Amino acid sequence: MRIFVSLALLAAAAAVSLFLGRASFSLDFSDPVYKDIVLDWRLPRIIAAVLVGGALSAGGAVLQTSFRNPLVSPDLLGVSAGAGLGAVLAMYLGAGHGIVVTAAFLGAILAVLLSSLAAAFAGRASVLSLVLSGVIVSAFAGACLSLTLLLSDPAKALHGMMFWLTGSLSMAGLQQLPWLASLVLLPLGLIMLSRFRLRMLLLGDSGIALSGVDPRKSRLWFILLASLMTAAAVSVSGIIGWVGLCAPHLARMLSKDPRDLVPLSFTSGGIILLVCDDAARCLFPGEIPVGLMTAVIGAPAFILIMRRYGRQSDS
């Protein structure tokens, strides 16, 4: 029931977002202004916000469950840093928007692969090795990214780079939606089909092994799916923080049933990013990156979440 309510709220938020903005329009479908504003700009942006916010949140929920750590975020394995480096390098070379999105996606996937290879090279494909490898890859990609920014021409590409790195849906268009939807919804569907194994990971390696499920293979499977969703989302929106960390906790507050965690995280993340994007578009004289809005809202929200967990542990 809670899932249907969250879907209804998501649909309502999307409908309201269609009418939010500085430009007004009529509901006449034959009006070219309606087509330009709604069909070519606002509707693709709304769909992108739902998919990106949902992917980050569902990916965060899956990784938090896989690692049994509520502080895990979707960019744990260097996804965001790799995507940022790929996008910035493409902008530095003067590539168009389509190439930038492709480079960001490939950078994110490459970062995950390097993290996995580094963990395997260390001799133990454990959770700790994978996390430490992700930290190393993120640090290396961040250093390369900073060097690229220093070498960039401030009068040309630097502003676009900084705007992308702080997260924005302003460039989300119809051409990105088909592959974004496929790379988000397909992994999400696979996660839902194998959600029994995901819940079993909460029991720990010894507990899940007693049920006949290989914990290492299951964990790697869910990490791969979550990383694929996150890579697709970040390649379109840039680096957007806090949504993938806070929304799963909100989903846990809404329902104690582990079966509801992933779908509620998806809808909660879609609503949060949609509201933040509306605020970024409408509350200021000029549009600001939506990543700034999620940080402003997410940081105090996570403090409240920490306080709630602290009270539960004391009681």
Tokens (6 digits) for 49: 């916000």
78-89: pLDDT as tens digits: 899 999 999 999
Tell which wins on pLDDT, 141 or 33. 141
Q: Is pLDDT of 172 > 90?
A: no
Q: Is pLDDT of 159 > 80?
A: no
Q: Is pLDDT of 158 > 80?
A: no
- State residue 127's pLDDT score: 73
Q: Is pLDDT of 123 > 80?
A: no
In degrees and rounded to multiples of 5, residue 147 shows phi and psi of -65, -40
Q: Is pLDDT of 233 > 90?
A: yes
Percent of the chain residues topping a pLDDT of 90: 37
Specify whether the CB–CB gap between 83 and 100 falls below 8 A.
Answer: no
**H/E run at residue 87:** helix 79-92
- State residue 19's pLDDT score: 83
Which pLDDT band, with edges at 50, 70 and 90, does 309 fall under? low
Give the DSSP per-residue string, 30-76: T-HHHIIIIIIIIHHHHHHHHHHHHHHHHHHHHHHHHHT-TT--TTT
Which pLDDT band, with edges at 50, 70 and 90, does 210 fall under? low
- The whole-model pTM stands at 0.91
Specify whether the CB–CB gap between 290 and 33 falls below 8 A.
Answer: no
- Alpha carbon distance 273, 290 (integer Å): 8
- State residue 191's pLDDT score: 94
Dmax (CA) for the chain in angstroms is: 64
Q: Quote the strand ranges of 192-285, DSSP E.
A: none
